[in-house]
């Protein structure tokens, strides 16, 4: 009985701090609540992929995209994924000129760092995977 209530209490604590952590994260990025343009720092434009594009690059990018990004950005990258609809800030549409005119480095920086509802993927992927994702976003932007 005693043990039960301890377990119950720590569950509530854990759950409570998960919620607190979530709202804290949102508060920490007030810019995400307005539709302010998201600009990567200028130095990010100088980032270049050190990896050679090979036949598998796009296939690997697509696989990662389908698993980690399509729920919000949509399978074809129009920002129309099922999970995106509930967000205050709409997920980016990769067919938009605003995205297309950015450098690879800026997109790499953004998907690494995230903002508001866009999660930071810095520690989720190896650099090579992040560049595969950039290549795949580029590919989506060229398709209709």
* Three-point CA angle 37, 42, 45, nearest 5°: 100
For 47, list phi and psi in degrees, rounded to 5.
Answer: -70, 130
Please report how close the Cβ of residue 8 comes to ligand HEC at its closest, in angstroms.
30
Q: How far is CA 25 from CA 13, 18, 30, 90, 133, in A?
A: 18, 11, 9, 17, 24
Please report how close the Cβ of residue 81 comes to ligand HEC at its closest, in angstroms.
7
Looking at the Cβ atoms of 3 and 67, the one nearer to ligand HEC is 67
Sign of the torsion angle spanned by Cα atoms 133, 136, 138, 141: negative
| Residue 131 CB-density burial (10 A; 0-12 exposed, 13-18 middle, 19+ buried) | buried
Looking at the Cβ atoms of 8 and 41, the one nearer to ligand HEC is 41
Looking at the Cβ atoms of 8 and 88, the one nearer to ligand HEC is 88
Please report how close the Cβ of residue 137 comes to ligand HEC at its closest, in angstroms.
6
Which residues bind to ligand HEC, rule: CB under 6 A? 32, 38, 68-69, 71-73, 83-84, 87, 89, 91-92, 99, 102, 107, 110-111, 115-119, 121, 133
Please report how close the Cβ of residue 125 comes to ligand HEC at its closest, in angstroms.
7
Looking at the Cβ atoms of 105 and 121, the one nearer to ligand HEC is 121
């Amino acid at each position: 009985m005693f043990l039960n209530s301890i377990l119950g209490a720590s569950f509530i604590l854990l759950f409570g701090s998960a919620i607190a952590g979530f709202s804290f994260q949102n508060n920490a990025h007030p810019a995400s609540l307005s539709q302010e343009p998201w600009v990567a720092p200028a130095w990010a434009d100088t980032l270049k992929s050190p990896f050679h594009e090979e036949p598998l690059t796009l296939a690997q990018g697509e696989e990662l995209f389908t698993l980690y990004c399509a729920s919000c950005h949509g399978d074809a990258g129009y920002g129309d994924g099922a999970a995106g609809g509930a967000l205050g800030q709409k997920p980016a549409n990769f067919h938009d000129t605003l995205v297309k005119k950015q450098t690879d480095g800026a997109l790499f920086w953004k998907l690494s760092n995230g903002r508001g509802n866009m999660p930071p993927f810095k520690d989720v992927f190896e650099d090579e995977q992040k560049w595969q994702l950039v290549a795949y976003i580029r590919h989506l932007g060229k398709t209709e």
